[in-house]
Structure 1
């Protein structure tokens, strides 16, 4: 028994059967298979060679819209009239020429090509083709045939919705309408004015000498403030609505007399292609000089029609404005949106041409 215990297991003399190393054999086989796949990938150029394959053509639908392709190629032009808003397709331009593309106006009649988006909303700008808001939104003047020309601007619209809509309905189309930037229903009133064919101006509040006792409204541009601060206010004011040909001051005797404060504002307005109408309330205004320096359309009101809002005084002022137009060839008057003033202008304008004077939009006297 001692001999059996001391004898190694692998060397038993009892004839016991030897066990095969199965795990090692399986591991070896797996290694050979893996080596075979590796050699195939490394040595054969197409691992999928011999397998059936088929090429299928893929149809691209990206350019299947013929109208869109024509527009993108410049063969079709989309235009918009601020009054009628038609869309028209034009023939291809001549060789070497180019055709501008414009989009439809928004609710105010403003064209997207003439608008720039800001944090406060869209404000006017000159288009990439050089068209200005003044040129795009001015109402064409009627033929004058040598007659004297007179323009009437109605100010203070937009705050009272019903009063504004009544004025828009009553007044002749050639009367220019100026809207304050504070009305809650500007979308309705400005759209109604533009749809009725009226030319539109934006009123901007400027500091008077007795500010703040006499306050033209929120976001008033003030003297002594940094130019950037006033320009930020201007951008807010310009974003209240669109489709206007220019601006007209609301008060501003102190502001318009300060070149340091007024010049950056006029430069910005000129760079955006807008006209400037001075309401004529201050003889110290530098508007004419600054407008000339910035090559922008400019006009100055000759008379405040309803400074005394009585029927007799308004009729007398209109007669005086008419005489000024006959003497100098043209004249601009401004009135408030009071019902009595609107009625007086409407009645006065009916027989105006028979007296040798034609009513024109204010922009016609700002060229």
Structure 2
């Protein structure tokens, strides 16, 4: 009974073991995840800011390098006991064996950040039979050989006997008539890449329309040659660094503000060698480069020395090209209106009307456009009635010379 009474009088729940207190962290899992994410973002931002890589986004090529081998070392020595005649025969074969063409090839590799050059011998293998892919482009038809100078990439323009490429390759125009009435020039850019659109521009637009070719494409020289055969004046577009490079990359061998003058000059020579017969050069993109005087000035001086004109497409309001060309006594022109910034028929027609108004106000105006089908169609239709409205369509060089004289 005593035990029963004790059990009945004992407080309920006193015989249960105490629970151990669970360890609680001073933060939640979501807070921990947020901190880790923040650390990752800070690390990434620090790498992007402090890791200087001016050539980020530049195309890179990997090649397999095979060390040069001596064929004689691979041959087993003659077996003993063959006598002196056999030894003399083996010696004769080793000395007189002709070296196979294309067996070895020396490639000059340039470090883009330092400009250091390294000559590397690589095995050419069967490529010798297929032709050298890096061979300089052939000289185009109708080119004055006196106005060409050999570079390590191919032939580039030069002044000779008082003749300048700007004057020799400028398209024919009635400049006396152009001096007395408003004139308009149209420049179609981005050609050479895409044979179909380039051919459309060449064949569907009047000869007075100037065509600007990029240095890229399988054979830009062949298309440029065809354009000249149709009496179009041509300019060469030089890829230059935009503000958002390398996210927006014009292409291989782009001129960069981070490179030295010698490095950019080497790249310029590569571009100049891709074709011939152009009256001048123009920027392809390049809002940052064309606004950076230390980088742009040497390019302008070199082009002026070679007898070329320079056309600024007008895309960069900070461009110093006009001042640089003026100090170099170089023919210069600048784009006034981007005709197909909005590539619809209505907006293109509106831009062409603005171009007419600018020509009447200033005496000369230059419009730029791409080779979009709608652009070619609207520009072609517009040029057919331009003369009836008292405005003369002229090549770019004629507009450049008129602007300089006015």
Q: Distance in 1 between matches of 2:212 and 2:141?
A: 14
| 1:135 counterpart residue number | 167
- Asked if the contact 2:221/2:274 (under 8 Å) is kept, the reply is no
Which of 148, 153, 162 is the equivalent residue of 1:120?
Answer: 153
Q: 1:256 offset after TM fit, Å?
A: 1.1
Output the TM-score relative to the length of structure 1: 0.70
Q: Which residue of 1 aligns with 2:84?
A: none
Is the CA contact 1:270–1:295 (under 8 Å) kept in the aligned structure 2?
yes
What is the aligned partner in structure 2 of residue 63 from structure 1?
Answer: none
Picking from 180, 186, 196, the partner of 2:214 is 180
Deviation sequence 1:189-242 (CA, Å, 0-9, x none)? 111100000000000011111101111111100002110000000000000000
Q: Are residues 1:216 and 2:250 paired?
A: yes
RMSD: 1.3
Work out the CA distance in 2 between the residues paired with 1:334 and 1:346: 14
- Partner residue, 2:373: 339
Q: 1:140: how far off?
A: 2.2
Is there any run of 5+ residues in structure 1 with no aligned partner, and where? 1-104
Q: Which residue in 2 is equivalent to 1:36?
A: none
- Correspondence for 1:349: 383
How far 1:106 moved relative to its partner?
A: 4.5
Deviations 1:136-183 (A, max 9, x none): 000122333722100000001111112211210100000000001001
What's the CA shift string for 1:103-159, capped at 9, x where partnerless? Answer: xx95253211000011100000001x1110000000122333722100000001111
Q: 1:84-99 counterparts in 2 under 5 A?
A: none
Structure-1 residue corresponding to 2:124: none
Instruction: Give the equivalent residue in structure 2 for 1:109.
Output: 142
Pick one of 185, 188, 199 that aligns with 2:233: 199
Matched, 1:359 2:393: yes
Q: Deviation of residue 312 (structure 1)? A: 0.5
Write the distance in 1 (CA, Å) between the matches of 2:185 and 2:386.
12
Unaligned runs of 5+ in 2: 1-137, 402-406
- 8 Å contact 2:184–2:394 — kept in the other structure? yes
**Contact 2:311–2:333, Cα closer than 8 Å, also in 1:** yes
How do 1:1-367 and structure 2 match up within 5 A? 106-127=139-160, 129-142=161-174, 143-144=177-178, 146-367=180-401
Which has more radius of gyration?
1
Residue 115 of structure 2 corresponds to which residue in structure 1?
Answer: none
TM-score (norm 2): 0.63
The 3 A distance-change label for structure 1 pair 288 and 140 is same
| Partner Cα distance (2:341, 2:227) in 1 | 24
Q: Report the secondary structure of 2:178's partner residue.
A: coil
Distance 2:141 2:320 in 1: 31
Partner of 2:211: helix, strand, or coil? Answer: strand
SS of 1:332's partner is: strand
Secondary structure of the corresponding residue to residue 366 of structure 1: helix
Number of aligned residue pairs: give it. 262
